């Protein structure tokens, strides 16, 4: 008898109509839906902050839609210089959660750790971000929206009118030491999907990227950071070791690996804001649980999805 999770992956590869069966296999019904004042010296009894920086486009010519989520190449280079100047050890997400400190919930003693992540899979990563990282011997984690990549044979999905990486770029990027994860297939707000739809988004993207890489994909980033208890549970059960949210907080060795806190860079910020983050200033430490605002936003978006008859997405 085949293992249930192997059958789930096969169902996701076959197509959406088979994902209800995948949900059954996993046993899920298809129902509706602080600030640190002294740089690099953590206060006594507090865990050491781990800044996980979140970027999207690295370009001087972002579209009107994309402009708020871009950083210029010159500013991104200045951010990476600030990271190097402060003596940070730059890890991928999988390297971070695989450290003895994270596994044992101990704090980093003589190491200052930072992570650099990119969502969506814009072509500017290869054109601008990767050369800057390479010049400084830095690594990163790149989360791809599999339905947005150019080329390939995956079914078409709605996507922004932007330039995205191609499927042919993916192995070359991984060969540079960049961790490649998934940002889902269609970039829907995952907490507005039912279980079969959610399984399709997770497993379809996972299988496509694994086929391109020839190796397992264990890292997920929730589109726009939206998640829920169901989303996190299904992410674990579909064999993801980590999942990145947004939260605009510092991560740390006690953070939830299925809801890692990241600091989102937007175009209304500047180089000094990133320097402050790297000096452990102007953001709180990640906490457990969802705040009232997060729960209220989730309820509103779920209701909106029900009224519209389709899941939420940043495209509308």
pLDDT tens, position by position, 59-100 = 998 788 888 999 999 999 999 999 999 999 999 999 999 999
For the chain, what is the radius of gyration of the CA atoms? 19
DSSP 87-151: TPEEE-HHHHHTSHHHHTTPPPSS--EEEEEE-TTBTHIIIIIHHHHHHTT---EEEE-GGGSBS
Task: Give the pLDDT of residue 305.
Answer: 59
Task: Give the pLDDT of residue 45.
Answer: 44
DSSP 142-208: EEE-GGGSBSSSPPP----SS-B-BTTHHHHHHHTT-EEEE--SS-B-GGGS-HHHHHHHHHHHHHH
Contact 238, 207 (CB under 8 A): no
Task: Give the pLDDT of residue 2.
Answer: 37
Task: Give the pLDDT of residue 236.
Answer: 97
Task: Give the pLDDT of residue 251.
Answer: 97
Task: Give the pLDDT of residue 299.
Answer: 63
Task: Give the pLDDT of residue 141.
Answer: 98
Contact 8, 238 (CB under 8 A): yes
Task: Give the pLDDT of residue 270.
Answer: 96
Low-confidence ranges of the chain (pLDDT < 50): 1-14, 17-18, 21-23, 25, 29-45, 316
Q: How much is the mean pLDDT over the chain?
A: 85
Task: Give the pLDDT of residue 296.
Answer: 64
Measured distance CA(281)–CA(6) in Å, rounded: 45
Task: Give the pLDDT of residue 303.
Answer: 66
Task: Give the pLDDT of residue 41.
Answer: 42
């Amino acid at each position: 008898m085949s293992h249930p999770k192997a059958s789930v992956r096969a169902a996701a590869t076959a197509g959406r109509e088979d994902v209800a069966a995948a949900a059954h296999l996993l046993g899920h019904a298809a129902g509706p839906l602080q600030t640190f004042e002294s740089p690099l010296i953590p206060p006594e009894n507090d865990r050491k902050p781990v800044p996980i920086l979140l970027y999207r486009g690295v370009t001087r010519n972002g579209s009107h839609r994309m402009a708020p989520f871009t950083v210029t190449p010159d500013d991104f280079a200045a951010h990476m210089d600030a990271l190097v100047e402060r003596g940070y050890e730059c890890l991928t997400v999988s390297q971070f959660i695989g450290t003895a400190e994270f596994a044992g919930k101990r704090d980093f003693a003589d190491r200052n750790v930072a992570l650099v992540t990119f969502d969506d899979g814009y072509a500017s990563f290869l054109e601008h971000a990767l050369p800057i990282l390479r010049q400084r011997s830095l690594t990163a984690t790149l989360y791809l929206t599999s339905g947005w990549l150019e080329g390939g044979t995956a079914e078409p999905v709605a996507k922004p009118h932007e330039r995205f990486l191609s499927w042919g770029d993916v192995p070359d990027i991984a060969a540079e030491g960049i961790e490649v994860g998934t940002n889902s297939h269609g970039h829907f707000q995952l907490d507005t999907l039912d279980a079969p739809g959610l399984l399709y988004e997770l497993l379809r993207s996972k299988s496509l990227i694994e086929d391109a890489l020839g190796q397992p994909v264990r890292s997920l980033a929730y589109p726009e950071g939206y998640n829920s208890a169901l989303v996190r549970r299904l992410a674990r059960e579909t064999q993801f070791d980590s999942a990145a949210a947004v939260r605009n907080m510092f991560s740390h060795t006690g953070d939830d690996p299925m809801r890692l806190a990241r600091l989102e860079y937007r175009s209304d910020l500047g180089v000094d804001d990133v320097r402050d983050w790297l000096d452990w200033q102007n953001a709180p430490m990640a906490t457990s649980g969802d705040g009232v605002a997060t729960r209220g936003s989730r309820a509103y978006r779920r209701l909106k999805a029900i009224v519209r008859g389709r899941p939420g997405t940043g495209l509308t």
